[in-house]
Amino acid sequence: MRDQPAAPEPRLMIAIAASTQGDHAGLRESLASAGLLNQPDIRVCVAQVDEPAMDSPDDNLSLFRFSSHTPFFEQYATIIRQTRSRYIALLDASCPPTEGWLRAVRQRMRDETPVFYGPVNSGWPGKDFRNIGYLIEYAQFREPLDPTLPEYPGNNIAFQRKLLQDVPLVGSGFQKTFFVRQVRDKLGITPFACNDMSVTYRKQFSWGYYLRRRYCHGRLYGASHAEILGYRRLLYAVGILILPLLRYSRILRASRRAPVLTGNVLRFSVPILVSECAWSVGECAGYMAGAPDDGVFLD
């Protein structure tokens, strides 16, 4: 009896990280609406946290079980290591793709684009307090994208797997936007801004959790740049005194691309400033003491 030929590797693997707050039922509906299910050349890999939240009857849908204490970075790294594909896309279960997402990604793959990313649009009503997280982290990525922006949305990125040969995974985690910046700076590859591949921000908002999250992200940022900065990290640490105001002004400038966002930034000025104080304290701690011990807040 002859051995069965191995199934061909998918052209695209979509890794979707999740937390206990993720709406898996809504995610599945969004994946179906976006046309991502039952595609023979695509493998959709969804992280399941603690108790099973969805089954996987679709041919190209795979579930990866994690504990609630597994950081997003580790979820992505695990999925990437256990799969093979020519392209990898990184999404967040709370920020599902829109209907035109796959069509845009296929076009970029046909064009052999090494790295590309898309917009992040809010799915919450304008005055909804859940927009606070969106304004702080993703207002600059609202459609249409500014291709000159020197940063990238970590919840809507795609890249060629072969780039991992030159900028490999580090440890058990995978810092998405740090990887893209390394690809840009070390390999001279400019990520392509693709306005047609948008995702919708639908993250829930818990104030205490969010402040802890901002602190941990700030600390990871400081730790990631401490070695590069050398002794200059001490000067950056002192900058904590004015950093919250600088970060707030950056958010305000980003919001000016859409008047409705500017109004919301002004409406939520106090919580935004408080959150940026949490980031700033974390960044200072990162310069001086390294990365945070608890990675569950890193996504």
CATH number at residue 87: 3.90.550.10
Choose among 20, 90, 94: nearest CA to 52. Answer: 20
Q: Are 235 and 196 in a shared domain?
A: no
Q: Provide the pLDDT confidence category of residue 211 given band limits of 50, 70 and 90.
A: very high
Per the rule left: phi > 0, alpha: psi between -120 and 50, beta: everything else, 142 is: beta
The last residue of a domain, from among 201, 219, 254:
201
- Model pLDDT for residues 18-46, shown as the tens digit of each residue: 987 767 778 999 999 999 999 999 999 99
Q: What is the mean pLDDT of residues 125-143?
A: 93
Same domain, 169 and 212: no
End-to-end CA distance of the chain: 48
Which residues span the domain enclosing 259?
A: 207-297
pLDDT value at 3 more than 70: no
Count structural domains, the chain: 2
Same domain membership, residue 276 and residue 184: no
- Tell me: do 30 and 169 sit in the same domain: yes
Q: For residues 142 and 285, state if they share a domain.
A: no
Lowest mean pLDDT of 80-89, 209-218, 228-237, 277-286, name the range: 228-237
Q: Could you tell me if 147 and 229 lie in one domain? A: no
Q: What pLDDT, in 10s, does the model give residues 54-76?
A: 666 678 999 999 988 888 989 99
